[in-house]
Amino acid sequence: MPQFSTPPPTPQHALLSFPAPHVLLVTLNRPRELNCINAQGHAELHAVWEWMDEEPGVWVGVVTGRGRAFCAGADLKEWNNRSNNTTNTNTTPMPPSGFGGLARRKGKKPVICAVNGICLGGGTEMIINSDLVIAASRTTFGLPEVKRGVVALAGALPRLVRTVGRQRAMEMVLTGRMVAASEAERWGLVNGVVEVEAGATDEEVSRRVVERAMRVAGEIAGNSPDAVLVSREGVKLGWEGIGADEATAMLSDTWVKRLYDGENIKEGLRAFVEKRKPVWVDSKL
């Protein structure tokens, strides 16, 4: 394992690994429950993404699922037990970052979802708020909350419409129907689809999707970590509905001076002049 300034968390319901320089891979690890996330799992994932944002040596995160599902949403058995037990005060509240630590995450480093299979409810809310999405061709996405009498309240509803448009968003959330990976790609919800054969094992599907996501993560990690953070923030400001001029001014006032004072911009310019590959240092932003 690489050397870190602080040790990584040790979640019970997810596996952490570091398969490439500066890249964290998080594997949801409740395959028998289709990687439904319970209250403890939300708190654990919140801690993982918080650690990644503060750890200088980690620049990009990738999240996937073990088994045939990426994440089938909330642990409805736990939710039902909690709803029926009015005297139980021992419940873990949802973290401020929302479902899976991603649905309302305000973190600064990019996260790629490597979606290996079923992605429903809160799982879909996670991918809507991630930065890039790579999906296996067998993947199905959906927000079936209306079929259970509940509502997708982890941040997906207002953000989905900005990604796929009003009519498509309404179709997903009001009917609760499943959307295939190829359709999600046409809608702009998915960046790329990895074709897998019908007889491929869960392990093979996961491996191929993660490999594709890791190639993208490697491309990101090959760039200046300072420039990646600031560029990502600029895109997010526009996506959250702020006007272009206001977003640019906020970006300049908040981030640009720190970017210009950093070492990576100087290294990038020197490398260009010297016609060599830049050697980036961990971001101090």
Strand 140-142: give its sheet, edge to edge. 69-71, 118-120, 140-142, 179-180
Give the per-residue pLDDT at 89. 47
Counting the structural domains of the chain, the total is 2
- For the chain, residues with pLDDT lower than 50 are 89-90
Do residues 20 and 80 both lie within one domain? Answer: yes
Residue 155 lies in a domain: yes
| Residues 95 and 32 reside in one and the same domain | yes
Together in a domain, 250 and 185: no
- In the set 145, 154, 155, 181, the catalytic residue is 145
Rounded to 10 deg, the angle between the 244-251 and 225-239 helix axes is 150
Same domain, 74 and 195: yes
Please indicate, yes or no, whether residues 215 and 230 belong to a single structural domain of this protein: no
Quick one: which of 137, 253, 112, 151 has its CA closest to 197?
A: 137
Q: Is residue 9 part of a domain?
A: no
74 as an active site residue: the answer is yes
CA-to-CA distance for 136 and 125, rounded, in angstroms?
Answer: 18
Domain with residue 37: its CATH number is 3.90.226.10
Q: Do 204 and 233 lie in a common domain?
A: no
Q: Residues 257, 118: one domain?
A: no
* Owning domain of residue 249: 225-274
Of residues 66, 179, 200, 190, the one with CA closest to residue 135: 190
Judged by DSSP in three states, 29 sits in coil
Domain finish residue from 221, 236, 266: 221
Task: Kindly report the average pLDDT of the chain as a whole number.
Answer: 90
Query: What torsion, rounded to 10 degrees, do the Cα atoms 45, 26, 99, 30 define?
Result: -100
Any domain includes 212:
yes
Strand pairing report for 192-194 and 69-71: unpaired
CA distances to 23, 41, 237 from 284, in Å: 17, 29, 21
Q: Which of 44, 55, 125, 185 does the annotation list as catalytic?
A: 125
Indicate whether 167 belongs to any domain: yes
- Of 181, 199, 221, which closes a domain? 221
What's residue 98's pLDDT?
86
**Domain assignment of residue 142, yes or no:** yes
The DSSP-derived string for 188-222 is TS-SEEE---TT--HHHHHHHHHHHHHHHHHHHHT
Residue 150 shares a structural domain with residue 242: no
Q: Are residues 203 and 186 in the same domain?
A: yes
Query: Both 74 and 187 in a single domain?
Result: yes
Residue 185 is among the residues annotated as catalytic for this protein: no
Does residue 5 lie in a domain region?
A: no
Q: 3-state DSSP call for residue 242?
A: coil
Catalytic residue among 122, 123, 142, 262: 122
Q: Within a domain: residue 243?
A: yes
Same domain for 231 and 148: no
* 125 counts as catalytic: yes
How far apart CA 67 and CA 100 sit, in angstroms, is 17
What tokens appear for 143 in the block? 């927000």
Would you state the pLDDT for residue 50?
97
Beta bridge partners of 207: none
What is the maximal distance between C-alpha atoms in the chain?
A: 68
pTM, to two decimals: 0.89
Please identify which of the residues 74, 114, 135, 221 carries the catalytic annotation: 74
Would you call 165 a catalytic residue per the annotation?
Answer: no
CA–CA gap between residue 264 and residue 276 (Å, rounded): 14
Contact 268, 278 (CB under 8 A): yes
Note whether 268 and 279 are within 8 A (CB): no
Residue 74 lies in a domain: yes
Q: How far, rounded to the nearest angstrom, does the alpha carbon of residue 223 sit from its chain's CA centroid?
A: 19
Distance, in Å, from the CA atom of 258 to the CA atom of 235, rounded to the nearest integer, reads 18
131 and 179 together in one domain: yes
Residue where a domain stops, chosen among 184, 202, 221:
221
Per the listing, tokens 């929302």 go with: 98
CA pair distance 112, 197, nearest whole angstrom: 23
